[in-house]
Amino acid sequence: MTDLPADALLVVTHPLVRHKLTRLRDRATSTADFRRLVRELSLLLGYEATRGLKLEPVTIETPLETMEGEQLSGKKLCFVSILRAGNGILDGMLDLVPSARVGHIGLFRDPKTLEAVEYYMKLPDDVAERQCIVVDPMLATGHSAVAAIDRLKHVGCGPIVFVCLLAAPEGVACLSAAHPDVRIITGALDRGLDDHGYIRPGLGDAGDRLFGTK
């Protein structure tokens, strides 16, 4: 992988993230536990993804006196889930920011070319006025992430952050080459991809493990 700007990739090494990722990777982890762990990890990663949100002053009354506090400034966030597996992270993100708007982009990976094929997109009408956080459990080849962000930029979105549980060096390089302005936040940077485009050591197919389809 080519060298990236210092702020282009953040691997969150918090002990809770490392612990929960280990349990998530374990093939013996049940579907119910897998869903719960993804939701918990998305909260921890979402904390980092929202660190740069702008604030504005606000005057409030505590039970004891008047004070000046701070609140989020401007339009609410938009979380964009890459279907279907992105919805596992989306749930936890909405726990963190329940007032956020939500968009969905449906993509599947062609098994022969490994390229992303779009089959669905639904975004808020004013998405271009909002900061977007794109969520997908895996950044493998990077093709799905690039395709989704291409679509968002086409309708005027920016700035954009990409959040995933695991990333491969190939995916990071692909996304950063196509969209160097998009920051990547992940729980781990794994060894690489196998011949089928799966992350190794990885955690298997995140969608199948989330929804019990295999």
Q: Is residue 84 part of an annotated ligand binding site?
A: yes
**200 among known catalytic residues:** no
Q: Residue 145, Cβ neighbours under 10 Å: how many?
A: 28
Q: Is residue 205 part of an annotated ligand binding site?
A: yes
Among the options 110, 113, 126, 181, which is catalytic? Answer: 113
**150 among known catalytic residues:** no
Q: Is residue 91 part of an annotated ligand binding site?
A: no
Q: Where are the beta strands (DSSP E) in 26-176?
A: 55-61, 66-72, 78-83, 101-109, 116-122, 132-135, 138-139, 160-167
**113 among known catalytic residues:** yes
The owner of tokens 């998009």 is 182
Closest listed residue to residue 211, CA positions, set 59, 120, 83, 64: 83
Q: Is residue 33 part of an annotated ligand binding site?
A: no
Among the options 25, 39, 109, 151, which is catalytic? Answer: 109
Q: What CA–CA distance (Å, rounded) separates 5 from 2?
A: 10
Q: Is residue 206 part of an annotated ligand binding site?
A: yes
| SS3 of residue 197 by DSSP | coil
Q: Is residue 142 part of an annotated ligand binding site?
A: yes
**205 among known catalytic residues:** yes
Q: Which residues are annotated as a binding site?
A: 84, 109, 136-144, 199, 204-206
Catalytic positions, written as ranges? 109, 113, 205, 208
Q: Which residues are annotated as a binding site for 5-phospho-alpha-D-ribose 1-diphosphate?
A: 84, 109, 136-144, 205
Q: Which residues are annotated as a binding site for uracil?
A: 199, 204-206
